[in-house]
Amino acid sequence: MVDLSVQIGDLRLKNPIMPASGTFSEDLATMLDINTLGALVTKTITHGIRQGNPTPRVCEVAGSMLNSIGIPSKGVDYFRNVTVPYYQAYDSPLVVSISGNTTDEFAQLCEAVSVPGVAAIEVNISCPNIEEDGKAFAMRPSSTLDVMRKLRAATDLPLWAKLTPNTGETSDVARAAQEGGADALVVCNTMLAMSIDVQSRKPRLGNLMGGLSGPSLKPIALRMAYQCAKAVDIPVIGCGGISTTEDVLEYLIAGASAVQVGTATFINPTAMIRIIAELEAYMVAYNFSKMTDIINSVRDEEAADTVVFMETAP
């Protein structure tokens, strides 16, 4: 018998496969038994009600996509009154993704969602901090440390910090998040990108720019997950461009303890359950009994010592 379960801080997940925030909702239950997933991660919510960005909110780029949804949110009350009760029917742990424009707003929301039925809070610190020139909290170690400390003080639930690839200081930011009290890191969110329609000369997204996700992001996000796994002691949850079981293995080997699947679900809504089945078959075929046989098994040897902290391409 193979055991697919993984440990993320105090939380035991039945398998390492879960959806990425914003690419999953109750609606996926129309297609598959979401109770088979390792965890259930909500779209990021904000404290108040928000409409989100102008359309078009998505566009396709070579083998991947851009989005600029803009966190439309029904607010915290809807979450507590409707979303949490809905997920009571499932035993896969509910992870709520939250975000705020200021540290205080963020911390208040963190407290407000710390209700029974919520297993962990994923803090989307890849969103702009309007108190500090609009850069995302997770772009700098200092603002990361700051916001994580306040969030830590606001809840006793496990805190997962979701990092951004839009930084040159991945390792430092990861350490700051750990120091600030994160129980795990989710690595990573989308990469800021742009596309222009040559005919109309207009940006393809209503909001001018948006986030790159899908296969193009994978080598970048994998590099970050690897850097983070080397930099911190808390678990890393890999995210970015995963669409096959091989992609999952790449992240696990690089040091991630679990992974999130995002855009791939748009292409194949049943991708996650297929991956879970394939992962189990892989374990059997290669005689692995538990996930820790795979996690962090990268053969980086000498190379790792010299270039782990390299944050620039040659």
Ligand X SMILES: Cc1cc2nc3c(=O)[nH]c(=O)nc-3n(C[C@H](O)[C@H](O)[C@H](O)COP(=O)(O)O)c2cc1C
Interface with a copy of itself (CB under 8 A), residue from 37, 187, 222, 279:
222
Shortest Cβ 35–a copy of itself spacing (Å):
28
Cis, peptide link before residue 56, omega less than 30° from 0: yes
The contact pattern for a copy of itself, residues 114-143, with x = CB under 8 A and - = no contact, is ------------xxx----xxxx--xx---
Return the residues of window 176-195 that contact ligand X according to CB under 6 A.
189-190
HEC string of 160-228? EEEECCCCCCHHHHHHHHHHCCCCEEEECCCEEECCECCCCCCECCCCCCEEEECHHHHHHHHHHHHHH
Binding site for another protein (CB under 8 A): 22-25, 27-31, 43, 51-52, 55-65, 67, 69, 72, 89, 214, 263, 265-270
Q: Is 268 in the site for a copy of itself (CB under 8 A)?
A: no
Return the residues of window 105-124 that contact ligand X according to CB under 6 A.
124
Q: Is residue 72 packed enough to be buried (19+ CB in 10 Å), middle (13-18) or exposed (0-12)?
A: middle
Q: Is 127 a catalytic residue?
A: yes
Nearest 10 degrees: Cα torsion 77, 78, 79, 84: 110
Cβ-contact 151, 107 below 8 angstroms: yes
Residues 6+ apart with CB under 8 A from 34: 28, 40, 90, 92
Tell me which residue has its CB nearest to ligand X.
22
3-state SS class at 299: coil
| Bind-site residues for FMN | 21, 43-44, 124, 162, 214, 240-241, 262-263
DSSP-assigned beta bridge partners for residue 26: none
| Rounded Cα–Cα distance for residues 185 and 175 (Å) | 10
The contact pattern for ligand X, residues 20-59, with x = CB under 6 A and - = no contact, is xxxx-------------------xx---------------
Q: Which of 114, 115, 177 is nearest to 141 (CA)?
A: 177
Interface with a copy of itself (CB under 8 A), residue from 31, 86, 91, 309:
309
Q: Which does 20 bind (CB under 5 to 8 A by kind): a copy of itself, another protein, ligand X, none?
A: ligand X
Shortest Cβ 12–ligand X spacing (Å):
22
Q: Which residue has the tokens 């293995």?
A: 249
Task: Out of 127, 188, 228, 239, pick the active-site residue.
Answer: 127
Q: Which of 178, 2, 254 is nearest to 239 (CA)?
A: 254
The contact pattern for a copy of itself, residues 70-89, with x = CB under 8 A and - = no contact, is xx------------------
Per CB under 6 A, residues contacting ligand X are: 20-23, 43-44, 67, 69, 71, 97, 124, 162, 189-190, 213-214, 217, 239-242, 261-264
As annotated, the active-site residues are 127
